[in-house]
Amino acid sequence: MKLAGRAKMLRVHFGEGDNWKDRPFYRAIAQKCRELDIAGATVLRGIAGYGASSLIHRSHVLSFSHDAPVMVSVIDSEEKIRRLLPFLDEAVDEGLVAMSEVEVIKYVHQDGIRS
Amino acid sequence: MAGTGLIEIQGTLVVKPTEIEKKQGTQESLPPLKREGKAKLMRIYIGENDKRRDIPLHKALIESMRANGIAGVTVYQGILGYGANRRIHRDSALHLSHDQPVMLSVVVDTEEKLRAYFPILDEMVQQGLVVLSDVDIIKYTHNFPATECGKGARQ
């Protein structure tokens, strides 16, 4: 896969406890990205945050609450990113999806590892 | 509140905000932002297991950036991801695998400084993704005295 020059970065913010069809939403997004042949997706967990619902999301070790804020960052060409939007439209009912411009400097993988 | 730190702003298009909350009471205006100028933000996506000369690549990158006078780096550990090699990086407690995705967010004052650093970066990152975007810096303070070692690094 090649990725170079101008690209788009899509970031989806939601809670770790959010589910989509009985599994974590972040896992569903990553899988959907793979299905759509998108160059990559990274899921990052925040330690505190609040969003549209103004609830403070925090990960409490003692209370076993798992609603830390989660952000998925996806970078690819605009055309590929747009393929993901119908899924997000359907799946995100609480959260934020934002897109911005980026310039790809490098996108490499080691030959042989690729499966 | 933040004595030392950095706030960056990036031109972002909101694709989908929440739909659940009521729309009332959102009329209050945003607090004024204090703009301090433009900068570049670089994000590097690698794996936690990636190594360079037997030390973790993210540590090697931080050291080399410090040595090259790059303003600031933050390393984030991801919980799940896949990239160029299509392998899913995941935190799996049972397997004690530690090949989670790692993201480095690097803020540089000038593009020239960053471009000068690219050859080193190019040599170090053998596998991963590096992207660059424009940001506006809102606040940037460093609390070390001008005579100390930091001065050399920041020139």
3-state class of B27 per DSSP? Answer: coil
Closest CA relative to residue B78, chosen from B100, B47, B57:
B100
Chain centroid, CA B133 distance in Å:
11
Instruction: Tell me if ipTM is over 0.85.
Output: no
Query: Is the pLDDT higher at A114 or at A67?
Result: A67
Task: Tell me if B111 sits within 8 A of B134, measured CB to CB.
Answer: no
Q: Which residue of B has its CA nearest to A97?
A: B16
User: Do B16 and A92 make contact, defined as CB atoms within 8 angstroms?
Assistant: yes
- The helix (H) or strand (E) run that includes residue A42 is strand A41-45
Question: Tell me: the pLDDT tens digits for A59-113?
Answer: 555 555 567 889 999 999 999 999 999 999 888 888 888 899 999 988 887 654 4
pLDDT at B33: 44
CB contacts < 8 A, A to B, total 149
Q: Name the packing angle between helices B57-67 and B111-124 (round to 10°).
A: 140
Pick among B129, B132, B133, B134 to test the A interface (most A CBs inside 10 A): B129
Chain centroid, CA A74 distance in Å:
6
Record: fold of A5-96: Alpha-Beta Plaits (3.30.70)
Number of H helices, E strands in chain B: 3, 9
The pTM of the full predicted model, rounded to 2 decimals, is 0.72
What residue ranges in B83-145 does DSSP mark as E strands?
A: 88-90, 101-108, 128-141
Which of A26, A95, A109 faces B80 most closely, judged by CB atoms? A26
d(CA A6, CA B100): 27
DSSP letter for each residue of A80-100: HHHHHHHHHHHH-SSSEEEEE
Query: Is the pLDDT higher at B142 or at B112?
Result: B112
Q: Which residues pair with A38 in a beta bridge?
A: none
Sketch the domain layout of chain A as residue ranges. Answer: 5-96
Question: Tell me: the pLDDT tens digits for A12-60?
Answer: 998 888 899 999 999 999 999 999 999 999 999 888 877 766 566 665 5
Query: With 80 as the cut, is the pLDDT of residue B89 above it?
Result: no
pLDDT band of A8, cuts 50, 70, 90: very high
At which residue do the structure tokens 């959010």 appear? Answer: A18
pLDDT band of A5, cuts 50, 70, 90: confident
